[in-house]
Structure 1
Amino acid sequence: METSITSNKTFFKNVVWYLLGTTIPMGINLVKTPIFTRHYSPEDYGYLGLVLTIFMYLSTVSYAWLASCIWRYYHTFESKKILKKFYSNLVFLFGISTIILFIFSLIFLLLYHSPLLIFKLIIICFFHFIFKELLGLYFIILRIKGEAKESNILLITQTVSSFFVLLFLAFCLNFDISSLILSSAIIDLLYLILLSIYLFRQGKFNQLKIKFVNRKYLKLFFGFGSFIILSSLFTLLIVSSDRYILAMYDTIENVGIYTKVYDIAQISITALVFVFFSVINPKMNKELANNLSNSNILLKKYLFAYLLILLPVTFIASIFSKEFAELLLGKEFQEGFQIIPYVFFSTLIYGIITFNQNKLKFSNRLKSIIIILFICFFINLILNFIFIPQNGYYAAATSTLFTYLIMLILFFKADSIDLLESKKDLKLVGTQLFILLLFFMIDQFFRKIVNYTILIAVIEGIVFCIIFFMIFRKQYKELKFL
C-alpha cells in the first residue's frame, strides 16, 4: 500500500513538472506568435518554413535516430552495467552525424544561396540544429532516469532566456526573421558550455573513451537507427512535403500562411501529447522491453486514458478555431483558420498511432512500420498533387488528415493491441463523442443568435470543459492509478 501511495505521488509530481515544462514554453510560443506574425511578413515566414523543413529532414537523417536508440536501449545497457559503453558509442555516432549534417548543409548552401535571407538561414540553422539536438539527447537521458524536475527546469529557463534574446535581436537590433532561430542557437550554445563545465567537474567525461566504441554496439544502434531514419523521414514527408508542392502551385506568401498556421495549431495539441507520453514512456518502455507478450493490458489502459484526456481538448479547441487564429496570429495569417481543426485531429490521431508503433518496434516488426509509412506517404503525395493546384493549403491540410486516418487503420490492422475487447472503454469513447457533438451543435446555434465575440467564446469554452469534467469526473479520478 505504501509503495502504491509513493508511486502515485511520483506520478503526479512528474505530471506537474511535465505540465510546467510544456505549458510555459508553449505559453511563450503563443505570446511570440501574435507578436512576430505582425512584425514579419508571410513571405518571410515562407522562406523560413522552407529552410526549416529542409533542416528537419537533415536532422532526421543525422540525429533523430539517436534519440530513439536512447529510448530503446538505455535500460538494456543499464541492466548490464555498461552505460560507459552506451555513452561512448552514442557520442561517437553524434560526431559522425554532425559531419553528415555539415556535408548536406554545404551542398544545400551551394545550391540555394539567393536571396540573402536564405543564405543566412541555412548557416544559422546548421548551428541551431547541432546545439538543439545535443541538448535534446541530454534531456532524454534525464527523462529516462526519472529526473522530471531537472529536465523541465532546464527546458523552461532555456525557452524563457531565448525569448528575451529574441526580443532584443528583433526590436533593439532590428534583425530580420533569422532572429527567431538565432536567439535559440545563442542560448543553446551558452547552455552547452555551462553543462560541459558542470559535467567535467562531476567527472562525467571520464566515462567517454574511444576504447569503448565497439563495432558490435555501433551495428546495434545503426541497425535500429536505419529503421528510425526511414520511418521518421516518411512521417516528416507526410507532414511537410506539401509545403514544397504548395510552393510549386501557389505563392510564397500562402506557403508562409500555411506553415505558420499549421505549426501553431500542431504545437498546441502536440504539447499535451508530449506531456502524456513523457509521463508514461518510462513505464511503458520497460513493460514493452521486459513483458512484451502481456503488454496489451497496459497499452489499452494508456490508450483510453489518452482519449479521455486529449479527445475532448482537441474537439473543444477545434470548435473555437476562428477565435484561436484571431488571438494568436497576425491579420495576414488569420485567413488560414479553417485548416486548424484538421491539424488538431491529425496530431491527435498520430498520438494514437504511437501506441501501435511502439509495440511493433519492440516486437522487431520494423519492416511492417516502414511499409505502412511508405504506403501512407505515397497516398499523401498523390492527394497533394491532385488537390493542391485547385484548393491550395486547404487541400494540403485535409490530405494530411485523411492520410493519418489511413495510417491509423493500417497500424491497428498490423497490431490491434486487443482494443476491441474492452467494450466498456469503447462505450466510454462513444459517449464522449456524442457529448462533444452536442457541444458543437450548441455552439453553431449560439453563433447564429448572438453577436459572437472572443469573450463569449472563452466563457462558452470554459462552460463546455466544466460540464464535460463533471460528467466524466469518476473516470478522471481513476487516472491516478496509471
Structure 2
Amino acid sequence: MFWRGVVGYLPVNIVQGVVGLLTIVVFTRVLSPADYGAYALAFSVMSLVHTLCFTWLEAAMARFYAAEAEGGRLPNHFATLFRTYALLALGLPLVAVPVLWAWPMAPALKLAVGAGLASILVRSLLKLAQERRRAAGDVSGAAMIDMAQTAGGFLVGAGLALAGLGGAAPLVGLGAAAAVCLIWALPAELRQAPGGRFERARINLYAAYGLPVSLSLILSLVLASTDRFVLAACLGQTSVGIYHAGYSLSNRTLDVMFIWLGMAGGPAAVAALERGGEKALRSVAHEQASLMVALTLPAAVGLALVARPLAGLMVGPALRDGAAQVTPWIGASAFLSGVTVYYFHTAFTLARRTPLLMLAMALPAMANLALNLLLVPRFGLQGALWATLASYGLGAVASFALGRMVLPLPVPWATFAKATLAALGMAAAVRLVPESGGLVELIAKAALGAVVYGGLALALDVGGLRDQAMRVGRMLQARMATP
C-alpha cells in the first residue's frame, strides 16, 4: 500500500512543487512587499482558524475509516462527520464576521483575512472528501483532488492578483478552486452514508482523538507563525514579506516532499497496525522513515547550497536579497519539522494518544515565542531565523522522546549516517562550482549535486535505495503498460 501511494501520489508532488515555486515567482513580483506581507499574515490566520475548527474532523475521517470499514459501520461514520461539519460551517461566519468587522486593521489586510476565512468552508469540506479517498486506498481520486485544487487555486489567484486584488488574491483563488472541485467530489461522498445517523457517542470519541490533533497543529502553526507577527510588530509588514518569501522558497520545497511521503505513508501505517499489529507497523515505518531521510536530507542541504542563485531567479527584486539570507536557515528548520510532523508524530496518532501531541508541540511553541520576543528586537530578521531553528530542534527531540513512551517507531540511524555522508560529498562538489549568478549557476549546482548525491547514495545503498529504485521502476512500468 505504501509504495502504491508513493508512485500514485508522485504527480501530486510534481504539481505541488511546480505550483509552489510559481507562487513565489508570480506573487513576489505582482504583489508589492506590503501586499505580500498581508497575504502571509492572512494565510497564517486562515490556517489557524481552519485547524481550530475543522482539522479534528479531517483527522477522525483518516484515522477511523479503516476500523469502521472493517466493522461495517461506515454510514454512521460519514453521517456523524458531515453533520458535525455542517453545524461548524454555519457557526463560523456568525463568529468571524463581527470579529473581522470590529478588528482594527488596515483595509487591505482585512480583505485578505476575510477571503481566507471564507475559503475555509469549502476547503475543509473538500479535505474530508480527500481524506476519505486516501484512507480507502483510492490514490487516483485523492491525487486528482489535490492537483486540481493546487493548480486551479494558483491560476485563479494569479489572475486576480494581476487584476489588482492585492494580498487577498491568492486566498480567493484557493477558495474558488476548492468550490469547483466540490462539484465533482461531493456527490460521491454523499452516497457513502445512505441511512446513516448521527451518534453522540461517536462524535465524542472522534473529538477525544481529533481535538488534541487540532490543538497540537495549532501549536505547530504558532511555532511557524509567531516570527511573522513579531516581525510585523517590530519591523513592519515589508519585513514579513521578505521573511515569508525566503521561508516559502525553502519550506515549501521540502514540505511538498514530506506531504507526498505522508500521503502515502499515513494510510499504509494505519492499515498495517490495524491488520498486522505493531510488528507489521515497525516494518512499514522503517521503510517509510528510510525513504524520507534519503530524499529530504539532501534536499535541505541542496537548498542551502543554491540559496542565492535560487532566490535571484525565483523572488522579485524587492525581496530577493533577504530571501537568500532566510533560505538556508529555514531549509534546516523545514527538515526537522517534516521529520517531526510526518514521522515522529505518527506514534501518537497511531496509538490514539493524541493528548501527548499537545505537550510535544507546546514546548517548542512556547520556546519559539520567547526566543522571537528576545531576539527579533535586537537582531531583526536574523534573530527570527535563530529562534526558528532552535525551536524546531527542540520539537524534534521532545516528539521523539515522548513518542517512545507510547508507540516506539524505528529510527533508521544507518540510513541517516549514510545520507549525511553522501550529502557532505555533494556539498564539497557543489562548492567547486564558480558563483556566476542566475540560471547558469543554479542549473550547474543543482545538476552536479543531484549526480554526486545520487551516485554516492547508490554506492552506499542509502536506505536500501537500489532495491527501492528497482521496485518503483517495475511499478511505473506496470502502470504505463495498463491500458
Common fold, TM-score beyond 0.5? Answer: yes
Pairwise CA distance, 1:451? 3.9
User: Hey, what's the Cα distance between the residues in 1 that align with 2:50 and 2:409?
Assistant: 35
**Residue type of the alignment partner of 1:400:** T
User: Hey, what's the Cα distance between the residues in 2 that align with 1:400 and 1:38?
Assistant: 26
Alpha carbons 1:59, 1:101 under 8 Å: kept:
no
After superposition, where does 1:339-350 map in structure 2 within 5 Å? 339-350=326-337
Task: Name which of 117, 122, 125 aligns with 1:131.
Answer: 122
**Residue type of the alignment partner of 1:328:** M
Task: Name which of 271, 287, 290 aligns with 1:286.
Answer: 271
Q: Which moved more, 1:123-132 or 1:407-416?
A: 407-416
User: Hey, what's the Cα distance between the residues in 2 that align with 1:219 and 1:63?
Assistant: 15
Q: Residue 476 in 1 paired to residue 465 in 2?
A: yes
Alpha carbons 2:157, 2:170 under 8 Å: kept:
yes
Task: Name which of 85, 108, 111 aligns with 2:99.
Answer: 108
* 1:411 equivalent in structure 2: 399
1:2-41 Cα offsets, whole Å, 9 max, x none, are xxxxx7xx935x4343121121233133223222211111
Q: 1:300 to 1:17 in 2, by over 3 A?
A: closer
Q: 1:38 to 1:402 in 2, by over 3 A?
A: same
User: Hey, what's the Cα distance between the residues in 2 that align with 1:440 and 1:205?
Assistant: 51
User: Hey, what's the Cα distance between the residues in 2 that align with 1:245 and 1:103?
Assistant: 29
Q: 1:338 to 1:368 in 2, by over 3 A?
A: same
Task: Name which of 207, 224, 233 aligns with 1:239.
Answer: 224
User: Hey, what's the Cα distance between the residues in 2 that align with 1:214 and 1:117?
Assistant: 43
Pairwise CA distance, 1:83? 0.5
Determine helix, strand or coil for the equivalent of 2:9.
helix
Q: 1:282 to 1:372 in 2, by over 3 A?
A: closer
User: Hey, what's the Cα distance between the residues in 2 that align with 1:433 and 1:11?
Assistant: 24
Pairwise CA distance, 1:275? 1.1
1:339-388 Cα offsets, whole Å, 9 max, x none, are 21222222222232232221223324334332222122121111111101
Alpha carbons 1:288, 1:359 under 8 Å: kept:
no
After superposition, where does 1:13-412 map in structure 2 within 5 Å? 14-112=5-103, 114-171=105-162, 173-196=163-186, 198-199=187-188, 204=191, 207=194, 209=196, 212-294=197-279, 295-335=281-321, 336-353=323-340, 354-412=342-400
User: Hey, what's the Cα distance between the residues in 2 that align with 1:355 and 1:153?
Assistant: 25
User: Hey, what's the Cα distance between the residues in 1 that align with 2:467 and 2:105?
Assistant: 57
Pairwise CA distance, 1:258? 1.2
Q: 1:251 to 1:426 in 2, by over 3 A?
A: same
Pairwise CA distance, 1:44? 0.6
1:108-167 Cα offsets, whole Å, 9 max, x none, are 313325432233223322221111111111111111222222222333233333344334
User: Hey, what's the Cα distance between the residues in 2 that align with 1:457 and 1:399?
Assistant: 29
User: Hey, what's the Cα distance between the residues in 2 that align with 1:28 and 1:427?
Assistant: 34
Pairwise CA distance, 1:214? 1.0
Pairwise CA distance, 1:49? 1.7
**Residue type of the alignment partner of 1:352:** V
Alpha carbons 2:33, 2:241 under 8 Å: kept:
yes
Alpha carbons 2:37, 2:237 under 8 Å: kept:
yes
User: Hey, what's the Cα distance between the residues in 2 that align with 1:189 and 1:398?
Assistant: 39
Q: TM-score, length-normalised on structure 1?
A: 0.88
Alpha carbons 1:87, 1:208 under 8 Å: kept:
no
User: Hey, what's the Cα distance between the residues in 2 that align with 1:433 and 1:352?
Assistant: 15
Q: CA RMSD in A?
A: 2.5
Q: 1:377 to 1:166 in 2, by over 3 A?
A: closer
Q: 1:186 to 1:383 in 2, by over 3 A?
A: same
Q: Which moved more, 1:94-103 or 1:71-80?
A: 94-103
Q: 1:11 to 1:337 in 2, by over 3 A?
A: same
Structure 2, gaps ≥5 residues long: 473-483
**Residue type of the alignment partner of 2:451:** I
Alpha carbons 2:27, 2:158 under 8 Å: kept:
no
* 1:11 equivalent in structure 2: 3
Runs of 4+ with >6 A deviation:
none
Structure 1, gaps ≥5 residues long: 1-6
Pairwise CA distance, 1:236? 1.0
**Residue type of the alignment partner of 1:338:** Q
Q: TM-score, length-normalised on structure 2?
A: 0.88
Q: 1:157 to 1:215 in 2, by over 3 A?
A: closer
Count of residues in Structure 1 that have an aligned counterpart in Structure 2: 461
Alpha carbons 1:33, 1:328 under 8 Å: kept:
yes
User: Hey, what's the Cα distance between the residues in 1 that align with 2:166 and 2:19?
Assistant: 20
Pairwise CA distance, 1:311? 1.1
Determine helix, strand or coil for the equivalent of 1:177.
helix
**Residue type of the alignment partner of 2:3:** F
* 1:467 equivalent in structure 2: 452
User: Hey, what's the Cα distance between the residues in 1 that align with 2:102 and 2:466?
Assistant: 57
Task: Name which of 428, 432, 439 aligns with 2:419.
Answer: 432
User: Hey, what's the Cα distance between the residues in 1 that align with 2:24 and 2:129?
Assistant: 28
Pairwise CA distance, 1:224? 1.0
User: Hey, what's the Cα distance between the residues in 2 that align with 1:154 and 1:405?
Assistant: 33
* 2:441 equivalent in structure 1: 456
Q: 1:404 to 1:176 in 2, by over 3 A?
A: closer
Pairwise CA distance, 1:230? 1.8
* 1:4 equivalent in structure 2: none
User: Hey, what's the Cα distance between the residues in 1 that align with 2:109 and 2:437?
Assistant: 42
Q: 1:332 to 1:152 in 2, by over 3 A?
A: same
Pairwise CA distance, 1:234? 1.0
Pairwise CA distance, 1:223? 1.0
Q: 1:158 to 1:367 in 2, by over 3 A?
A: closer
Q: 1:291 to 1:347 in 2, by over 3 A?
A: farther
Identity %: 16
Alpha carbons 1:292, 1:363 under 8 Å: kept:
no
Q: Which moved more, 1:305-314 or 1:183-192?
A: 183-192
